Amino acid sequence: MATIGFIGLGNMGGPMAINLLKAGHEVKAFDLSQTAVEHVVSEGGTAVVSAVEAATGADFVISMLPAGVHVQGLYLTGEAPLLDVVSDNALIIDSSTIDAATAQRVSAAAAERGLSFIDAPVSGGVGGAIAGTLAFMVGATDEQFAKAKPVLECMGKNIFHAGQSGAGQIAKACNNMMLSILMAGTSEALNMGMKNGLDPAVLSEIMKQSSGNNWALQVYNPVPGVMEGVPSSNNYQGGFQVDLMFKDLGLAMELSQQSNSPVPMGSAARSLFSLHKSKGNGGLDFSSILKLYQDS
């Protein structure tokens, strides 16, 4: 069993760390929030007082932070860069969702010092983090991926090797942009059907069995009442917030800008989520985009 320094124990990081503990690993837990640390400690983790202490001597360092600026600061440009303290044979796994350019920059800086930094953002939400069924999209060499996989499998179900450094972030940006397109598109197709008198459950079923079939129709229908146990049937509470979708779409726009990849559909979806957010809906589940379409 390995010693793992875990930095960032929020809604996602906390349950992920606990799943590592359940699998028998030793976890040195750090977060700016003492409450977050204590929660992990109550499940068997070891509290440490700094990211440096978490990283020092660990076999794996895992980070789960809000944005690229935090990841860069933590490892590279902050007051106590972790790249100065991690062991030569340690593997750093960053599971934050950040821009690919930062992931690649930190990975390159690590490589220069003979260290290993890989990007492994997740999808699956808080539910998946708790259940240990996250999907990991990994940007790493074959060797790094082989080393990371058993650890990631303690926290997730599907572990994808997307490609070299940064590829995990790129894959996630592509996937989540696609998701925003699916959800907005499905909402507008269902809304048009409803405005013309169709039953949304019937239309959903028709499209699901036809060429309009997609993830939203299968497991995340945006119309309240069509499907049980989804945010739309719970006043759009829980799930994946509009604010987070908007953040991810910002990362997709950045990626498209740097690589000049045209993204007209993703841009249109981002505009819709932006309009929706500006009306005070940032805290709702992203399937609430249906409300933007509806008459009021």
The nearest distance, CB 99 to a second copy, in angstroms, is 11
Are 216 and 242 within 8 A, CB to CB? Answer: no
* Residue among 8 and 125 whose Cβ is closer to a second copy: 125
Dihedral angle of Cα 208, 241, 270, 67, to the nearest 10 degrees: -130
What token pair was written down for 187?
A: 């909402």
Question: Between 114 and 280, whose beta carbon lies closer to a second copy?
Answer: 280
Select which of 28, 172, 208, 279 is catalytic: 172
Q: How far is the CB of 71 from a second copy (least distance, A)?
A: 18
In the DSSP assignment, the letter for residue 124 is: S
Query: In Å, how far are 69, 206, 247 from 213, measured between CA atoms?
Result: 38, 9, 26
Annotated catalytic residue 172: yes
| Nearest-angstrom CA–CA distance, 120 and 28 | 19
CB closer to a second copy, 16 vs 29: 16
Q: For the beta carbon of residue 253, count every other beta carbon within 10 angstroms.
A: 16
DSSP code per residue over 35-76: HHHHHHHTTT-EE-SSHHHHHTT-SEEEE--SSHHHHHIIII
> C-beta of 278: minimal distance to a second copy in Å?
5
Between 56 and 104, CB nearer to a second copy: 104
| Total Cβ atoms within 10 A of residue 194 | 16
Contacts of 40 (CB under 8 A, 6+ apart): 6, 9, 14, 17, 18, 21, 27, 29
- Residue 56 or residue 214: which is nearer to a second copy going by CB? 214
- Give min distance, CB of 116 to a second copy, in A: 19
For residue 22, give both structure tokens. Answer: 């359940």
Q: How far is the CB of 80 from a second copy (least distance, A)?
A: 19
Catalytic residue ranges: 172
